[in-house]
Amino acid sequence: MVIDCHCHAGQGPDFDGPWDSAPLDAYARRAAAAGIRHTVLLPVFHSDYAVANRQVGRIVADRPERYSGFAMVHPRRDAGRIHALLAEATGRWGLRGIKVHRHDARITREVCGAARTFRLPVLYDVMGEVATVELFATAYPDVDFIIPHLGSFADDWSAQLALVDHLVRHPNVHADTSGVRRFDLLLRALERAGPEKLLFGSDGPWLHPGVELAKVKALALQPADEAKITGGNLLRLLGPPIRAAGSRHALHHRPVPVGRGHTR
């Protein structure tokens, strides 16, 4: 099953740019045509992430066979209530990970500690600030981190190249493929870190999921290795079951007891 680990959904309160609104109609058609059967939804930027998380939660509740969701938090503005936000997001809406963006604020120990408590992976957009991966990856070795865009949506090849070293050295650091324009850097990451460390993501609905998936297909991997990148690695990180669109059967993985830490 092909799973897109990185697609936005919902609507923010502002008009700062196209990233404030993420309708899914066109994305859903394009994803279906590309053979993508399940998608992880991330909130758009918002002044209140409790509201944004509920938007994603409602979409997931309506189409659980098609969508899963991550909760988004603002490390500084939400300081002191991260645990409460995630308790609602996981307990009421069944969201299964955390999204943090450095455009809001840098990731904090409170966020990482909550990820450990709820046993959630963290998708953190470092915006090219790759060196900090060393700090949080080593401080929280039992938390899985996904760094989107191989470290830089802005096509900062030096940051993306540096992230490959972190993928090699840290078992809990992964990267997604969304928006990576320099194909040879994807090849470098694959050759050095292996297919277990990469996850297919599209950054939809703004990038075309079929185009982004074609980059993974162009890696010309063995079927088993391609399957890891296009869904298997994400399922391993998420744990609980995902039900495939059009299937009567859920894909089951390790149970995740909420509220307890975990070790590998």
Domains and CATH numbers, the chain: 3-238 (3.20.20.140)
Structure token digits, residue 2: 């092909």
pLDDT number for residue 21? 83
pLDDT number for residue 13? 84
Angle, CA 239 vertex, CA 257 and CA 37 arms, to 5°:
140
* pLDDT tens per residue across span 194-217: 999 999 999 999 999 999 999 999
Q: What is the pTM of this model?
A: 0.92
Q: What is the residue type of 47?
A: S
Is residue 213 within 8 A of residue 226, CB to CB? The reply is no
For residue 148, give the nearest of 2, 1, 261, 4 by alpha carbon. Answer: 4
pLDDT number for residue 240? 56
Per-residue confidence in pLDDT tens, the chain, 264 aa = 999 999 999 998 877 777 788 999 999 999 999 999 999 999 999 999 999 999 999 999 999 999 999 999 999 999 999 999 999 999 999 999 999 999 999 999 999 999 999 999 999 999 999 999 999 999 999 999 999 999 999 999 999 999 999 999 999 999 999 999 999 999 999 999 999 999 999 999 999 999 999 999 999 999 999 999 999 999 999 975 565 555 444 444 333 333 333 333
Is residue 58 within 8 A of residue 88, CB to CB? The reply is no
- DSSP per residue, 47-99: S-HHHHHHHHHHHHHH-TTTEEE-EE--TTTTTT-HHHHHHHHHHTT----EE
pLDDT number for residue 254? 35
Phi, psi of 3 (to 5 degrees): -125, 130
Give the burial class of 150: count Cβ atoms within 10 A of its Cβ; 0-12 exposed, 13-18 middle, 19 or more buried.
Answer: buried
pLDDT number for residue 245? 57
Collapsed DSSP state (helix, strand, coil) of residue 10: strand
pLDDT number for residue 42? 98
pLDDT number for residue 99? 98
pLDDT number for residue 243? 59
For residue 53, give the nearest of 109, 14, 15, 91 by alpha carbon. Answer: 91
Place of tokens 């399957």: 227
